[in-house]
Amino acid sequence: MSEPIGIEIRNLYKIFGARPLDYVDAVRRGMTKTELNQKHRHVLGLRDINISVEPGTIQVIMGLSGSGKSTLIRHINRLIEPTAGEIVIDGQDVVAMSPAELREFRRHKTAMVFQKFALLPHRTVLDNVAYGLEVQGVAQAQRHRAAMNWIERVGLAGYESRYPSQLSGGMQQRVGLARALANDAPILLMDEAYSALDPLIRYDMQTVLLDLQKEFRKTIIFITHDFDEALRIGDRIALLRDGSIIQEGTGQEMVLQPADDYVSSFVQHVDRAKVVQVASVMQPLTAEAQGPAIPGRANLGEAIRMMSAEGVDRLTVLDQAGRAVGLVPMTRAVAVAAGGS
pLDDT of residue 126: 94
pLDDT of residue 341: 65
Partners of residue 86 on adjacent β-strands: 10
| Tally of CA atoms within 13 A in the half-sphere of 298 that contains its CB | 20
The domains of the chain are located at 7-109+185-264, 273-337
Sign of the C-alpha dihedral computed for residues 322, 230, 270 and 52 taken in this order: positive
Given a contact cutoff of 8 angstroms between Cβ atoms, the answer to whether 75 and 82 are in contact is: yes
User: Within 10 A of 57 (CB to CB), how many other CB atoms are there?
Assistant: 17
What is the DSSP secondary structure assignment for residue 339, as one 8-state letter? T
186-205 pLDDT tens trace: 999 998 888 877 888 888 88
Residues of the chain with pLDDT under 50: none
CA 320, 326, 327 angle in degrees (round to 5)? Answer: 120
Q: Residue 186, exposed/middle/buried by CB under 10 A (0-12, 13-18, 19+)?
A: buried
pLDDT of residue 45: 96
pLDDT of residue 16: 96
Right CATH for 7-109+185-264 from 3.40.50.10470, 3.10.520.10, 3.40.718.10, 3.40.50.300: 3.40.50.300
273-337 topology per CATH: CBS domain Like (3.90.1280)
pLDDT of residue 183: 85
Query: In whole angstroms, what is the distance from residue 56 CA to residue 67 CA?
Result: 26
250 Cβ neighbours under 8 A, 6+ residues apart = 235, 236, 237
Query: In whole angstroms, what is the distance from residue 252 CA to residue 254 CA?
Result: 5
Given a contact cutoff of 8 angstroms between Cβ atoms, the answer to whether 314 and 329 are in contact is: yes
Give the three-class secondary structure for 314.
Answer: strand
14: part of which helix (H) or strand (E)? strand 7-16
